[in-house]
Amino acid sequence: RVIVLQPGNRVKVMGNVRC
C-alpha cells in the first residue's frame, strides 16, 4: 500500500534523544 510518512512516525527516529 502507499504510505505517506507522517510527523508522528518521523519523530520516532529520535528515540529517547531530545574542536
Query: Residue 2: what residue type?
Result: V
Q: How many chain residues are in contact with another protein, going by CB under 8 A?
A: 18
Residues 1-19, interacting with another protein (CB under 8 A):
1-7, 9-19
Which candidate, 17, 16, 13, 18, places its Cα nearest to that of 5?
13
Interatomic CA distance for residues 9 and 1, integer angstroms:
17
- Output the smallest distance, CB 6 to another protein, in A: 7
Q: How far is the CB of 14 from another protein (least distance, A)?
A: 6
Q: Provide the binding-site residues for another protein, judged by CB under 8 A.
A: 1-7, 9-19
